[in-house]
Chain A
Amino acid sequence: MQGSFNSPDTHKYSVILPTYNERKNLPVIVWLLAKTFTENQLAWEIIVVDDNSPDGTQEIAKQLAKLYGEDKIVLKPRAGKLGLGTAYIHGLNFVTGDFVIIMDADFSHHPKFIPQFIRLQKAHNLDIVTGTRYRATSKPSSPDAQPGGVHGWDFTRKLVSRGANFLADTVLNPGVSDLTGSFRLYRLPVLRHIITETVSKGYVFQMEMMVRARALGYTVGEVPITFVDRIYGDSKLGSNEIVSYAKGIWVLFTTV
């Protein structure tokens, strides 16, 4: 589909990066994103939604804006830690592209997969493309996909992740293999539509977006990605998360 931007592929891609204490990670992820977009001749911008990090993430973001341009790195901070879902809603207010990419800022999602997302989106005119750690091929199939995978997970983490996805898959039948991942490309109006209907927070938020997308009849493609668990900082997964995840599945089961 033809876009309306003055760029080689007529589209513009906006990355929304919610951050909290990502001072170490932010410059590197921005560098990787900039490299990927430049090499693939894509028009881009990064909306940094910082929840008032005490570690000076915003200071770094300003330095990056000076380096890459204030039109490329757009800092839109918020007053405090207000959660992931609302961070995307906040970021969406400032998006100027026609596609939105959401991802984590901690390198567990590598920007090198974005061109594959975009190729798959264009080939099948998809509304959403999501990264999956659990597939070896993309869906619909495409020749440039490499098998996905994870790094830095022990057996328990793998079991919990597999169990969680199996539970959600059985109960909700969402049609995508990786529900808890959050590396996705959305058509802007599609993301706006789904996000207004989404009510949950935290881990369940990403899952609900996929379940709603399917219920609303949007087309979703999957690209296998490699997932390198947080190199700096801890990833959070405790019994509290597991309980709230199970509750979230129940709520979706009874409402969507």
Chain B
Amino acid sequence: MARAHRVALLGTVVVISYVLTFFKILSVPLLDAKVADQIIPVLPWWLLVSFGSYCLWSIGMGLLTLRECPEAYNELLGEITEAKNDLRMKGVTVD
């Protein structure tokens, strides 16, 4: 079973239970009926907004924490020069 199948299976179960709850075929345990009536219709939108925020936060944090490494660049330039000089001395063609 590929990951897509597992996700689809889980998604189907969640959607079916949501629809059944929405049409009051299933009841919400441990929650006042009045409160449940108010929460159930907006739940998908809440999930959507939460997921969107999570995406933005993840990518934003990723961008912020992606480090610049100028020291690696400078070190590399030095090593390239050293390598070229050494190789030239040893008879390898270096441009």
Contact = CB atoms under 8 A, between A and B. Distances in A.
Interface of A: 23-24, 27-28, 31-32, 59-60, 63-64, 67, 107, 110, 133-134, 136, 147-152, 158-159, 161-163, 165-166, 170-173, 226-228, 231, 252-256
A63 B84 CA distance: 14
A162 B92 CA distance: 40
A231 B75 CA distance: 13
| Dominant secondary structure of chain A at its interface with chain B | helix
Interface stretch (B24-32, B42-50, B57-65): B57-65
A254 B2 contact: yes
A53 B69 CA distance: 31
A31 B83 contact: yes
Nearest to B86: A31
A28 B80 contact: yes
B91 A158 contact: no
Contacts of A171: 3
Contact of A149 (B55, B69, B94): B69
A43 to B, nearest CB: 22
Contact of A64 (B2, B59, B65, B92): B92
Given A27-B94, A63-B92, A253 B4 contact: yes
A150 B76 CA distance: 13
In which size bucket is the chain B interface?
Answer: 20 to 34
B89 to A, nearest CB: 11
B59 A63 contact: no
B59 A149 contact: no
B63 A159 contact: yes
A134 B87 contact: no
Interface string B62-82: 110111111011001101100
**Residue from B58, B62, B63, B68 whose CB has the most chain A CB atoms within 10 Å:** B62
B59 A134 contact: no
Interface of B: 2-4, 7, 55, 58-59, 62-63, 65-70, 72-73, 76-77, 79-80, 83-84, 86-87, 90-95
**Residue from B58, B77, B80 whose CB has the most chain A CB atoms within 10 Å:** B80
20 contacts: A27-B87, A27-B92, A28-B79, A28-B80, A32-B79, A59-B93, A60-B93, A67-B90, A110-B72, A134-B62, A134-B65, A134-B66, A149-B68, A150-B66, A150-B69, A159-B59, A231-B76, A231-B77, A253-B7, A255-B2
A151 B68 contact: yes
B63 A151 contact: no
B66 to A, nearest CB: 6
Nearest to A163: B59
B63 A228 contact: no
A255 B3 CA distance: 7
Contacts of B67: 136, 147-150
